[in-house]
Amino acid sequence: MDYKRLIDLHVHTDNSPDGHHAAMLICETAVAKGLRAVAFTDHCEVDVYFDDKYDRVVRQSYFEVARAKSAYRGNLLVLQGVELAQPTYDEELALKIIDARNYDMIIGSIHNLRGESDFYYTRDFEGMDIDSMLKAYFRELAVLADWGQFDTLAHLTYPLRYFYARNNISVDMEEYACEVDEILKLLAENHIALEINTAGLRQPIKKLAPEFPIVKRFRELGGKYITIGSDAHYAEHLAAGFDDALEVAQEAGFDCVTLFQNRDPVEIPIG
Ligand SMILES: [Zn+2]
Ligand SMILES: [Zn+2]
């Protein structure tokens, strides 16, 4: 793989509760691997912003990434981002968070249903109504895509990795084709990118989020931009699984991946 072309647009530092490495160390690893660009996108869970003190960590993350950006200027393109989760659960606050800083890119994501905890924290899905949970999750993604104040949609199909890891539950995504189409259409209309997230390849489910059929469908429905993110929480996971993700993007008909600078899309040819 030509690492020189690689652009990892979903990376967490130790300013995320589950992150392990500082921005500087991650940049050093990125340069050693020959990456071209890294977007730091620490967690900002909008629905628990004050309760879980995200106001402080988001500020700290922005400051440390700005420092790394200037330290690595000329060697690595460092992009300042944030993973804004559940912004539609408090839109007014979400807009304030976005406007407070000069972000290069905003990742939009949903980790939990309204009033519920992150799917990640559910240890056992036995006896739960998986179908209604998924329908509610896809409805929230449609609301998010319709709101549209972000640049790329993270890890579509996120709950599936936990259904599989906890209870070996596999989901046939064809049963949710209508729900997914609605999300993809809204993304395309709002010129928002679809992320191919490679974290699932490192988990028991061993799959990209989303997989090829959804990426292809996004293209068919007029989707223009694809981003690729490792969702690394350790420096060694930078650009992990990118061969698979790039292959899926190309087979789905995308010639470029996209990065965002000052919230503007910049297309980078894959080939
Ligand atoms: Zn996420
Ligand atoms: Zn993430």
Residue 271 CA to residue 256 CA, distance in Å, equals 8
- Is the alpha carbon torsion for 85, 91, 93, 95 positive or negative? positive
> Which listed ligand is nearest to 118 at the C-alpha?
1
- Cα end-to-end distance, the chain, whole Å: 11
21-57: burial string, b at 16+ Cβ within 10 Å, e else: bebeebbbbbeebebbbbbbbbbbbbbbbeeeebeeb
User: Coil, helix or strand for 159?
Assistant: helix
How high is the pLDDT of residue 82? 98
Backbone angles phi, psi at 63, to 5 degrees: -65, -45
Parent domain of 97: 3-269
Is residue 114 within 8 A of residue 160, CB to CB? The reply is: no
How high is the pLDDT of residue 89? 98
Q: Residue 173 — very low, low, confident or very high, per pLDDT cuts 50/70/90? A: very high
Is residue 1's pLDDT more than 70? no
> What distance in angstroms lies between residue 219's CA and the mean position of ligand 1's atoms?
23
> What distance in angstroms lies between residue 196's CA and the mean position of ligand 2's atoms?
12
pLDDT tens per residue, range 194-253: 999 999 999 999 999 999 999 999 999 999 999 999 999 999 999 999 999 999 999 999
> Which listed ligand is nearest to 155 at the C-alpha?
1
Work out the percent of the chain whose per-residue pLDDT is above 90. Answer: 97
Q: Residue 271 — very low, low, confident or very high, per pLDDT cuts 50/70/90? A: confident
Is residue 256's pLDDT more than 60? yes
* Residues, CB-to-ion distance under 5 Å, ligand 2: 83, 231
Is residue 145's pLDDT more than 70? yes
> What distance in angstroms lies between residue 121's CA and the mean position of ligand 2's atoms?
15
> What distance in angstroms lies between residue 239's CA and the mean position of ligand 2's atoms?
13
pLDDT tens per residue, range 12-26: 999 998 999 999 999
> Which listed ligand is nearest to 45 at the C-alpha?
1
State the total domains in the chain: 1
Q: What is the CATH number of the domain that holds 146?
A: 3.20.20.140
Question: In the predicted model, what is the mean pLDDT of the chain?
Answer: 96
Is residue 159's pLDDT more than 90? yes
> Which listed ligand is nearest to 86 at the C-alpha?
1
> What distance in angstroms lies between residue 118's CA and the mean position of ligand 1's atoms?
10
> What distance in angstroms lies between residue 206's CA and the mean position of ligand 1's atoms?
17
pTM (two decimals): 0.97
Q: Where are the beta strands (DSSP E) in the chain?
A: 7-11, 37-45, 77-85, 105-109, 152-153, 193-197, 226-229, 256-261, 264-269
The helix/strand count (H/E) of the chain reads as: 8, 9
